[in-house]
Chain A
């Protein structure tokens, strides 16, 4: 086959001989995107869920931060109260110390040590 013939044949196979534009002649026409009703609903639901979970995520993050603020405040409060508690315990121990009680009992209340006779042993 001469070269000219080869060119001709080639051209005739893929292009319009006149315009030289390549044409695709497939028998079965591919359908455009045309989803069914169910698919539409499904996709819509999916989108909704995505949105909701997104919002949920952001909201929970926000909430977490807020709780974090509260928590740190409470933690500080806890430490403060614990310290106050400790101080009060020491103060209580000071007030309950034998010296102080004795002083109060003798000088303020006018009490004295019981004599042997005043102690009644319960049977």
Chain B
């Protein structure tokens, strides 16, 4: 081989080597550029190609009543938007869309002319409207899913629940107070799709710590409804300006109902006056009037300033303090402590107050929670006002004993009354019982809280029995009595201060009644206030019937058995015998129960042997058996066909009777 050839070969080898090296270097350089220098930008471009986001409508927690019925829930609703820049023929688009949305074309046109990239045309519309808009395929107009708050109970507990704005922000009531808990985060779903945009993987990004929460309230929607109905009826009947009614669990401090009239529908809150949104039970302060005497007596008894046997001269209805004369509605002579309460004598109250002393009374009022917030989990609570000793002249001091010169809220009154009912403990009121997360686990459980002990149990019992006298036949609160139950309560009638003359008005009154039932084992505390009734100013006439209506209904609803038919104490009769005399007069429920048969049953019962229940309806069997003091075990439905023990067995040996029923053929 020639030297020349060798050289040529060597040159070629080097040439190829250098070319290869150069190629490799360029490749690496490019890889570096793509993978490291521009990686971020390119990743984004790539991701856009195969990944998509689905924006989920922002959720909002549900509000339930104590039994888990929805009071406020969010559902999806479609909203129509437009990108004005993308609409070529705005006039035409506005014309078409306005027909679908039921708006004026000019109005839609105006929105489309706006110099913004995005405008809402109409929000939260009906589903069929939305699908029409989708079908119309107007350029630059689209549909977004949002959530809409819905209150299925409409006016039920509206003042308590409040409402939300168009962007799902809580504006009033619990919706505002618990906005941060109820409001959900904005969640986007990550979706990987193929070239044909079919998704093949949807991943949910890890949820932020703060998810949506549901609230379980202490409210019972049925009691709430009844309270609202009764109150609405009373306000309409008396021509009053407003009214509020609270139903509270005496032992736990749970609010069972919080009714306010005038009502509003939170679904369309904007159609009502802002004045109607106000939860008057916590925001409105008023003079308690005579109702305060219940606490005066409690304080006086607790401090032993008076005893149950103390008597006071009520000065025949006129009592002079300095240059001021205090009047009673009726003239009374010497009255006992209980009579002072029953007749609601102002002069008697002043006398009791004088033996207790203003300072002590002030202290007790503070202890009962007046003059400070109750701490209920609602916004806008007011604290009311009591004049401290230093600022109170002799007349101010005297009038405070019958509830003038101080202001309270309904919730304070109800809680203070609950303290008397439950044996002297002031409870913290609350409306939210449980906070649960999205999967239904309880995040927070709110338990009853005792604020302080105000009275000894003994005093509380004595005051309760005195208050029972108020609801007796001669008491001011007779209209609040509930058949079959012992009721304790107090009426109140307070003059309102005329804002113009700054003096007590002779026309504007606040009528109140508050009490608890059953008096011996209290369950419910009910507070009723009627604001400026036109028909009669008296709490005994205007507010007490509301108490009765709500109380009676709630007790039946809560299946609390009536004790007896007379409000007078008669020892501890068993509830089984309670319905006796009533039950016997019950109308017969089945055609087959003729009068002849009823006579047989009565005759058998009076002979001391078990009657023949066969052929009777269930109602009849129950009333007959309970009249005889027997326990009944019921089986099946329809007409009684069999009983155990057999008819004719001596009653003395039987405690319970088992009766089988079959539907009549």
Contact = CB atoms under 8 A, between A and B. Distances in A.
Interface string A69-95: 101100110000001001101110110
Contacts of B156: 97-99
Given A87-B75, A89-B73, A65 B152 contact: no
Contacts of A118: 586-587, 619
Interface string B574-591: 011011001101110000
Contacts of A76: 199, 202
Contacts of A121: 561-562, 575, 578-579, 626
B202 A117 contact: no
A86 B75 contact: yes
Contacts of A65: 194, 200
A99 B199 CA distance: 46
A90 B317 CA distance: 59
Interface residues of A, number: 27
A91 B150 CA distance: 10
A68 interface: yes
Given A94-B152, A117-B585, A121-B579, A72 B69 contact: no
Q: Is the interface of A mostly helix, strand, loop or mixed?
A: helix
A27 interface: no
A26 interface: no
B199 A122 contact: no
B625 interface: yes
A98 B198 CA distance: 47
A122 B222 CA distance: 22
B221 interface: yes
A123 interface: yes
Nearest to B73: A90
Given A75-B202, A87-B75, A122 B622 contact: yes
A23 interface: no
A97 B73 CA distance: 14
A120 interface: yes
A120 B619 contact: yes
B87 interface: no
A122 B622 CA distance: 7
A93 B153 contact: yes
A107 to B, nearest CB: 16
Contacts of A69: 198-200
A10 interface: no
Contacts of B619: 118, 120
B25 to A, nearest CB: 34
Contacts of B222: 98
Interface residues of B, number: 46
A83 B70 contact: no
A116 interface: yes
A90 B200 contact: no
B632 interface: yes
A71 B189 CA distance: 14
A98 B225 contact: yes
A96 interface: yes
B154 interface: yes
A103 to B, nearest CB: 12
B220 to A, nearest CB: 11
B152, B561, B578, B631: which has the most chain A beta carbons within 10 Å?
B152
Interface in B191-236: 191-192, 194, 198-202, 221-222, 225-226
A118 B556 CA distance: 12
A1 interface: no
A76, A89, A90, A94: which has the most chain B beta carbons within 10 Å?
A90
A72 B152 contact: no
A15 to B, nearest CB: 17
B520 interface: no
A28 interface: no
A119 interface: yes
Nearest to B618: A120
Interface string B621-657: 0110110001110100000000000000000000000
Interface of A: 65, 68-69, 71-72, 75-76, 83, 86-87, 89-91, 93-94, 96-99, 116-123
Given A99-B225, A118-B587, A122-B622, 8 more contacts: A68-B192, A71-B202, A97-B152, A99-B156, A116-B484, A118-B586, A123-B576, A123-B632
Q: Which 9 A-B pairs have the closest CB atoms?
A: A68-B200, A93-B152, A98-B225, A123-B576, A72-B199, A93-B70, A94-B152, A120-B622, A68-B201
21 contacts: A71-B200, A72-B191, A76-B199, A76-B202, A86-B73, A93-B70, A94-B152, A96-B69, A98-B156, A98-B222, A98-B225, A98-B226, A99-B153, A99-B154, A99-B225, A120-B579, A120-B583, A120-B586, A121-B578, A121-B579, A122-B634
